A and B are shown apart, each in its own frame.
Chain A
Amino acid sequence: MKNETPFDPTHSPWLATYTSAGIVAKLQTPQHASLAELVQERCAHFAAEQAARRLKHPAFSCVMPNGMNGRLSFSQVNAQSDAFAGYLRQTLGLKAGDRVAVQMPNCLAYPVAAFGVLKAGCVLVNTNPLYTESEMVHQFNDSGATALVVMDMFADKLPGVLLRTGVKHVVLARVDAFFPVIPGAVIRGVQKVWSRVLPPVTVPYVRLAQALVQGRATLVATPAKTYWQDINHDHLAALQYTGGTTGVSKGAMLSHGNLLNNVNQMLAMGATHMEEGRECVLTALPLYHIFAFTANLLGFLSIGAHNVLIPSPRPVQNLQRAVENFPITWMTGVNTLFNGLLNEEWFTAYPPRELKASIAGGTALHSAVAQRWVEVTRTPIAEGYGLTETSPVVSFNPLRGTPRPSSIGIPAPGTELRLMGDDGSAVAPGEPGEICVRGPQVMQGYWNNEAETAGVLKDGWLATGDVAVMEPDGFLRIVDRKKDLVLVSGFNVYPNEVEDTIAQLESVLEVAVIGVPDDKTGEAVRAFVVPNPDHRDQLTTEQVLAHCRRQLTAYKVPRSVVLRDELPKSPIGKVLRKTLKAEAQAQVR
């Protein structure tokens, strides 16, 4: 990689597109010094708007599958997160920079805990609630977390985890936190008696409600601002764990500056379709994931949107009441979520009337899904691209203008981007190369892991491991993950392309493509197909193959097609190709 090359606009052909798409090319310097200040100032601003009756909605609503809901106003968000910051710093005696793990599905306790951690000047460690005991142990030990805020439903793993980690303080949250009394009691009752999801807690803990009472009492002597007023852009805000792909997950160090800048980059992208204080965003993706964390939690909060949190988006029917009861204007999601909604009759018959736009990320958005989404909702859906290491937005499709199928769009304002070949120099125009990114959103490195950091980060340039081609006007198209490439007799086959082709079939609900070892060709393409239940028993593997033969060059056509009932997925709904690969490998043995 060439280093220290000054930013050269002639290598940034996308700059011209900004103007026509209504995007401000120059990235605004964040007006807040820290995320804590952002939360404090924005919530205070919108609380005042609310008091003046210029704004009618709360900051957050949490909607259960049966329609029961609770809400947090902007002033409550500030008051409760201040109290939690006080609890962490005064009651528990944590210091600035101490790591606090937050392990919850979407619920009203999440913003209180996460913002509380940030206002305390501590570092947020987002943890997936579905983690196994050993994954938790690794993440807590690696991050050195000393306190944990966890949803009571997931407390069963705590005894084993606490013994093997440095976590000393446990705060228990509940999914019905901040709900009105009766619905809260009903949800609680159902959890306890009916679904029996509340395990007995055998370790010492404090309930979030108690912690907030204790914390609030400390604010008189020491206001929460004391803890965050000296934080600036270079301070570490979050350790976001990623990269199970290489085996061990690593903590990406995201600073306050990284996240603040990325919020601005994301808002620049959506500005044409956003109005301050007027949006209502459906947050079905988990907030512990960087996409929803930056876009939904931070981004939409900062424009005073009403954030509708869904604790569990699966089955997709769980979203029905939320979509019916709230005037959703924005949605963020992954391919599987949009696809799932498009297969629900209540959604396609009555798509949200107020919807303005949606953004898709996390994984490739199939063009068939994108096209149907536009047909059904009559609103644009823009695919973006990013990774945990970049807070996450790197590029996006402008919402204005003709949609470009299968494109991940153009780099976000303030982002430098190059496609690099294996030899370490930029590839010729139109050739596939690895995406390398430099910009204010690129992480500081991996926590306590210089070797891994050095492997991906050089002179501020992050090597993403994703291969893309760039069109003359700067639009990018991902060809695939470098490591997912299937090498058939020396030819590169990109699973995404094959998946996209198979997904065009109406009788296909979902599809995943991987490479499996093959004696003759080295690797062979295998497709896993989930038939659409509406076209039950109509799909044959022969049909899939025939379709592929019509659409694809011979070497790209799958050697084998496997029909399945479902595909393995990550918590946010990314299809896990590595699990399929492992399954295939186990079969070979």
Chain B
Amino acid sequence: MITEFETRLLGIMMMVIMLGMGASLTWRDFLIAFRKPKGVLVGMLCQFGIMPLLGFVLAMALDLSPGLTVGLILMACMPGGTTSNIFSYFSKGVLALSILMTTVCTLAALVMVPLLLEFYSSMAGLSSEFKIPASSVAQVLVVLLVPTVLGMVLRKLNPNIGATIELLGGFMGIVVIVFLVATWVPRNHRLLAETPWPVYFAAIGLGLIGMALGYALARLLKQDNNRSRTIALETGIQNGPLAVLIVTLSIAATIQQEVLLIPVLYSLFIVLSSSVVTLFFRRWATREALARDRLKAGSLLVT
């Protein structure tokens, strides 16, 4: 269970995260994104095409209970988190693309998440008590838009404040996960021990398989290696804290625990798996850079 106090705290942290995300943005960024929308469109396709489908398929294949299924589908429908931007930075990815994808997806989530959730919940044949009402998801997202816009305004007014909360927001993304680990895990270690492997597989696989598919689709759509890696991270890393917040706000207390299990597990493991993937990507990027250097030395002479 997550207490009333923790839910509020989570809400406030989420506000800080969104404030930071807003501060990383200007209106121009959006306008520029729509001038040359291909990268962002590919990203959106991964985010709202691949991920929810993957969540649904995993839930069906692993034959999860309705409570776990709704948790997994919700997790899969979430937009990318701001933590993905930090990982993208460390993996020598295309930071601007990462930030833009997070933002555009978060805005699009307003419409996409309720729709997708409705669609896949019906597909999974969930009974009404397990359905997350579209209106409450939309409400949460709308409420979170307020700090986002506020962040944008603050940046416009004072770049120093903007840059500071931008950093703060990025760190808060990690703080929330640490907070979850510290408060939730000790109280639920029994539950964790009893949790069967398919649940772990779903929670970890959603992120890892999502990254692999995101990379493959991006390559297929002619994005270069570096952009594809960025899109992969962005696809696999979902906004875990947001899912937790939505569940605590909109699911009846009696079944909350079960629904929360996958979002919380996902949030814990995504930090580990994206760290590993980031290291791998980083080496990959370095290797490519070295190969380019060799090409230079070997030089294509024409005589």
A residues apposed to B, CB below 8 Å: 63-64, 66-69, 180, 182-183, 186, 317, 321, 324-325, 345-346, 349-350, 536, 541-542, 545, 559-565, 587
Contact = CB atoms under 8 A, between A and B. Distances in A.
27 contacts: A66-B163, A66-B166, A67-B163, A68-B163, A68-B164, A69-B159, A180-B160, A182-B164, A321-B159, A324-B28, A345-B35, A345-B36, A346-B28, A346-B32, A349-B31, A350-B28, A350-B32, A536-B224, A542-B302, A560-B301, A560-B303, A562-B300, A563-B299, A563-B300, A564-B299, A565-B293, A587-B299
A151 B258 CA distance: 56
Given A324-B28, A349-B31, A183 B300 contact: no
Interface string B11-37: 000000000000000101101100110
Given A183-B164, A325-B159, A565-B292, A349 B300 contact: no
B263 interface: no
B164 A564 contact: no
Given A542-B302, A559-B303, A562-B301, A64 B296 contact: no
B162 interface: yes
Most buried by A among B162, B164, B301, B302: B302
Contacts of A559: 303
A298 B166 CA distance: 35
A407 B174 CA distance: 56
Contacts of A68: 159-160, 163-164
B26 A64 contact: no
Given A66-B163, A68-B159, A565 B32 contact: no
Given A561-B302, A562-B299, A565-B296, A182 B160 contact: yes
A67 to B, nearest CB: 4
A473 B159 CA distance: 49
B302 A69 contact: no
Contact of A349 (B35, B164, B167, B303): B35
Interface in B219-255: 224
Contacts of A345: 32, 35-36
Nearest to B224: A536
Interface string B143-170: 0000000000001000110111011000
Nearest to B160: A183
A500 to B, nearest CB: 20
Interface of B: 26, 28-29, 31-32, 35-36, 96, 155, 159-160, 162-164, 166-167, 224, 292-293, 295-296, 299-303
Nearest to B96: A317
A516 B253 CA distance: 78
Contacts of A587: 299
Contacts of B160: 67-69, 180, 182-183
A67 B300 contact: no
A560 B303 CA distance: 6
Contact of B296 (A66, A542, A564): A564
Contacts of A565: 292-293, 295-296
A180 B162 CA distance: 14
A345 B36 CA distance: 9
Given A186-B167, A349-B31, A349-B35, A67 B159 contact: yes
B232 to A, nearest CB: 20
A182 B164 CA distance: 8
Contacts of B35: 345, 349
A112 to B, nearest CB: 20
A560 B302 contact: yes
Most buried by A among B26, B159, B292: B159
Contacts of A66: 163, 166-167
B290 to A, nearest CB: 11
Given A69-B159, A317-B96, A345-B36, 18 more contacts: A66-B166, A66-B167, A67-B162, A68-B159, A69-B160, A180-B160, A182-B160, A183-B163, A345-B32, A345-B35, A349-B32, A350-B32, A536-B224, A545-B302, A562-B299, A563-B299, A565-B292, A565-B293
A589 to B, nearest CB: 14
A66 B166 CA distance: 9
B225 to A, nearest CB: 11
A175 B220 CA distance: 44
A155 to B, nearest CB: 26
A220 B97 CA distance: 56
A185 to B, nearest CB: 9
B96 to A, nearest CB: 8
Contacts of B155: 67
A349 B296 contact: no
Contacts of A324: 26, 28
Contacts of B96: 317
A305 B163 CA distance: 25
Contacts of A186: 163-164, 167
A346 B100 CA distance: 13
A180 B96 CA distance: 27
A69 B162 CA distance: 11
Most buried by A among B35, B160, B224, B301: B160
A465 to B, nearest CB: 30
Nearest to B296: A564
A238 to B, nearest CB: 33
A325 B29 CA distance: 14
Nearest to A560: B301
A541 B163 contact: no
Contacts of B28: 324, 346, 349-350
A105 to B, nearest CB: 19
Contacts of A542: 302
Nearest to B35: A349
Top 4 A-B pairs, shortest CB-CB distance:
A67-B159, A66-B163, A68-B163, A541-B302
Contacts of A545: 302
A195 B9 CA distance: 31
Nearest to A67: B159
A282 B35 CA distance: 27
A419 B155 CA distance: 54
A67 B301 CA distance: 43
A561 B36 CA distance: 32
B68 to A, nearest CB: 38
A60 to B, nearest CB: 15
Nearest to B162: A67
A560 B301 CA distance: 6
Contacts of B162: 67
A249 B88 CA distance: 42
A285 B92 CA distance: 26
A136 B301 CA distance: 37
A97 to B, nearest CB: 41
Nearest to A563: B300
